[in-house]
């Protein structure tokens, strides 16, 4: 996962608990990154929670399960940011 490290541990009751530890994206500011493109709603919502200091944008999911947006439409959306 590029957004975070996932740490799994077990509680005393035996249930699995996942903790998401966000990666440090501040390093991107030093590399002339102008935009972050989030493919899908989950990635976008995750970036909303982080304070990265770089504009981020929602893109339709690239998953084949996302049949609402055609490949051509997805390509046109992505081209805006290249």
Helix (H, G, I), strand (E, B) or coil at 46: helix
Distance, in Å, from the CA atom of 19 to the CA atom of 82, rounded to the nearest integer, reads 34
Return the closest-CA partner of residue 70 out of 82, 78, 81, 58: 78
pLDDT of res. 58: 86
pLDDT of res. 20: 66
pLDDT of res. 2: 57
pLDDT means per 10 residues in the chain (82 residues)?
57 68 73 82 80 82 74 83 80
pLDDT of res. 72: 85
pLDDT of res. 52: 75
**DSSP code, position 76:** H
Residue ranges in 1-82 assigned as alpha helix (H): 41-49, 71-79
């Amino acid at each position: 996962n590029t957004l975070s490290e996932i740490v799994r541990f077990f509680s005393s009751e035996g249930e699995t608990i996942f903790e998401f530890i966000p990666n440090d994206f501040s390093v991107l500011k030093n590399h002339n990154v102008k935009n972050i493109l989030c493919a899908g709603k989950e990635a976008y919502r995750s970036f909303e929670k982080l304070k990265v200091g770089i504009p981020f944008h929602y893109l339709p999911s690239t998953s084949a399960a996302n049949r609402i947006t055609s490949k051509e439409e997805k390509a046109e959306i992505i081209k805006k940011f290249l």
